[in-house]
Amino acid sequence: MTQPNPLATPTAWNLLASAYEAEVLPTFQHFVEEALRLSDLPASALIADVACGPGTLALVAASRGHTVDALDFSPEMIALLEQTARARGLGSIRARVGDGQALPFPDGRHDAAFSLFGLMFFPDRARGFAELRRILRPGARAVVSSWQPLDRSPTLVTVLGALQQALPDAAAPPAQPPPLVTPEACRAEMEPVFRAVEVHPASSQLAFPSAAALWASLERSMPPVALTRHRLGEQAWGPISGRVRDAVTERLGAGPVRVNLHAWLSVGIA
């Protein structure tokens, strides 16, 4: 029997909320820009950012004059978004804790809906797509992003392989079926409720001064790693982390390291 995906619960996201905001949010800027471009937004639009995290897209959209209904199931993520919005004077973000599979918004009001690397983890993705469709006005667009296969990022494969080798067998995160990693899978899940579905590739690159710096960042901001660390406790985690750091330094070298990120942006019209 397939175990529930631990990333479909708030626990991991609450654990890493601060690090996610500081380290991951800026790296997603390219994907945000592509998603907004593909959405064909009118001026002063009303949009929904579902599974918004710390405001990866919501903050950019609000700064450009749009009103954003931002929702996430992690209270820590929503607290960070509200704090950042206040600091930037962005009163047009309406953030709340909620379930992306049961959106607390009326039918047919929004000019666009987004879910960047969020809906891909929903236990019921079909319901997630249906809810995005329900809240959109006719002709409005939804943009949903997901990751391409991990093997397109050899550096991450190396790091995660080192982690698997360093962990006790019982501590390894359970394998999960990859969600929405091909254009065919993206279309198959979006087309039942949207028309004219198109799947666009998008890529970004991150630079780190060393393999050790990359691993330190992943420790703080990668959900499966954060969950494993939390489950084991800091005393057990320390030696494991050291072994991973040493292994990735040996395999990737002591100099700067680059990580390629490849995503799909699926766009459908209501």
Q: Could you read off the pLDDT of 215-247 as tens digits, one per residue?
A: 998 888 888 888 888 888 889 999 999 999 999
At residue 171, the pLDDT reads 55
Residue 255 burial (CB < 10 Å; 0-12/13-18/19+)?
Answer: exposed
Mean pLDDT score, 64-73: 97
Question: For the chain, what's the residue count?
Answer: 270
pLDDT band at residue 1 under the 50/70/90 scheme: very low
Instruction: At 6, list the tokens.
Output: 């631990």
- Please check the confidence at residue 126 and state whether its pLDDT lies above 50: yes
What b/e readout covers 96-114, taking b as 16+ CB neighbours within 10 angstroms? eebbbbebebeeeebbbbb
Indicate the DSSP class of residue 21.
I
**Per-residue pLDDT at 228:** 86
Residue 14: predicted pLDDT = 61
- Residue 26, pLDDT > 80, answer no
pTM of the model: 0.90
Model pLDDT, residue 2: 44
Give the start-to-end residue ranges of the domains of the chain: 6-269
CATH 3.40.50.150 is right for the domain spanning 6-269 = yes
C-alpha–C-alpha distance, residues 144 and 112, integer Å: 11
What is the pLDDT, as a whole number, of residue 135?
A: 98
